[in-house]
Chains A and B, each alone.
Chain A
Amino acid sequence: DGGITQSPKYLFRKEGQNVTLSCEQNLNHDAMYWYRQDPGQGLRLIYYSQIVNDFQKGDIAEGYSVSREKKESFPLTVTSAQKNPTAFYLCASSIGAGVGEKLYFGSGTQLSVL
């Protein structure tokens, strides 16, 4: 089955530690996205990538980093600079980054701080 796989489902971070969230898709989509979901705030865009080896900052990129070395993979690193990392992280993809593109979402990773 085609889809988006996020791992792990739950992740715990110690203070000062960098952690990486995995996102893999086998839909052959060009565009991939990372969103952060906090209660009552909806989804906020962290980073997105329209094509391999290229990515752009979203609304809340500070404290995060990404890479897009392969079309199917778009890992997100939550660095120690992100002071409030506890949230639900959603990865998504779309065929392209054009008008009316449907997003396909993964099942998410819940990150908590120890």
Chain B
Amino acid sequence: AQSVTQLDSHVSVSEGTPVLLRCNYSSSYSPSLFWYVQHPNKGLQLLLKYTSAATLVKGINGFEAEFKKSETSFHLTKPSAHMSDAAEYFCVVLPEDTGRRALTFGSGTRLQVQP
């Protein structure tokens, strides 16, 4: 079965420094991968998605992620953190080799941004 593992439950960075949120997936095929963000008291929002086109995917708010098949990774990065980036981030996979057509979410990484 396809799954995603978010390697850090909490990440803390200083404002203006780079952000790295790590995600590894397990899949026998090439899955579709996503990053969603959940701000406090707000709904979930799609940041970016990978669907077998370019391996470097650019999303909203300056985030990007690189699909690395050899490492089965899809890490989320941003060059410079902003206070408004503080939120919970979910790495998500849509499996393609099963009959199930629904997303599987990772356990989440809470990003704190220190002033």
A-B contacts counted at CB < 8 A amount to 54
Cross-chain contact A105 with B43 (CB below 8 angstroms): yes
Residue numbers of A with Cβ under 8 A of B are 31, 33, 35, 40-45, 48, 50, 56, 58, 90, 92, 97-103, 105-108
Given A45-B103, A50-B101, also A103-B49 (CB < 8 A): no
**Bound form: Cα–Cα A92–B102 in Å:** 11
**Bound form: Cα–Cα A11–B105 in Å:** 24
Contact of A42 among B32, B94, B101, B105 (CB under 8 A): B105
A105 to chain B, nearest CB (A): 4
Residue numbers of B with Cβ under 8 A of A are 6, 9, 32, 36, 42-46, 49, 51, 90, 94, 96, 100-108
Q: In the complex, what residues of A have CB within 8 A of residue B108's CB?
A: 40, 42
Besides the contacts A42-B106, A97-B102, what 16 more A-B pairs have beta carbons closer than 8 Å?
Answer: A33-B103, A35-B105, A41-B107, A43-B90, A43-B105, A44-B105, A45-B104, A48-B102, A58-B102, A98-B101, A99-B32, A100-B49, A100-B51, A102-B49, A105-B43, A108-B43
